[in-house]
Amino acid sequence: MLLRALVPAALLLAATPAMAASTADVQVTGVSLQLIDLNPGDGIAPSVSFSGGASRGESAISFTRPGSSGSENATFTGLAGAWSPGSVGVAGGFGSAAASLSGGGMPTGSSLSATGSATAPTGGFCLPGDTGFNNCFAAQAGFSASVQPTGFSSSFTLSPGTLMVLTVDATLNASATGGGRTAQFNDFFFTNGDGASANLSLSVNGAGPTGSGLQSSSDSRFLSAFAFYDFGSGVFIPDSESFSGQLGVSFTNLSSGTLEGSFTMNLGVSGTAYGDALLVPEPGAWALMLAGLAAVAGVARRRG
């Protein structure tokens, strides 16, 4: 979030640096695949088979500050297809991110996780006299992580007269605690509040229940947290969001033959933390500040 305020530059220079950090995580457990026989008299046992797709996970971190920057990312791909276990993680001085999928290669019993955190670097600054922020050099860090248990999608075949219900137990968290201030000698400064997000989505699509037309089912949760700057107190106000509950999708086959469909599941997190870009005072400003300090010291000596 970008905000603007008229604040004396000297006051901002003397302000306490903001603590900047963002975190987010998604945890999925209790994946359950239930098959309900809608026509017990047909003598066909409910069944579903998945094909195609390949599990995938990714994690990444990055940072930038005057004079240096860096990034790192890593991925895993399930060689055995959809729902194949895998894990990956990266970590550095200003953040970390990890993604994992564990289980036996089937939806039931699988657990998935995406987590990340970032802490802003220090060292940002602005050169005096610039009114367009062209000479401001920021410091910030970010993270992202995601898991797709079926890759972009996985096909399935559902037996006749069957209702398929897939549910997951999920916990999502996102928090942002601080931010960065960008200041100049024209008595303006801008603030960037830290931000974090966490998301989870499920969807199934395919032929309609009777074999004609289309059907689809989806469920999702998206959380976002943004710290904002309170001009009255001069500090960033933390923000956090959380969810704990169950998500689910379903697919129905009322026909006498098998039906084809596709299933997609995505979970991910991302976030950014900002550091201050404070003013580099001009020589005249340094002289004024030093003269002021000397005057205060002289008054204190006389009172003593």
Quote the CA–CA distance of 265 and 32 in Å, as a whole number: 14
Q: Which two tokens stand for residue 248?
A: 């689910």
* pLDDT 10s digits, 152-191: 888 999 999 999 999 999 999 999 999 988 765 555 677 8
pLDDT for residue 278: 72
Pairing of strands 277-279, 124-126: parallel
Are residues 142 and 90 in contact, defined by beta-carbon separation less than 8 angstroms?
A: no
pLDDT for residue 106: 86
**What range does the domain containing 279 cover?**
2-303
Vertex 87: Cα angle to 86 and 90 (nearest 5): 155
Residue in 70, 87, 69 with CA at minimum distance from that of residue 78:
87
The radius of gyration of the chain's CA atoms, rounded to the nearest angstrom, is 27
pLDDT for residue 105: 86
pLDDT for residue 290: 46
* pLDDT 10s digits, 67-77: 899 999 999 99
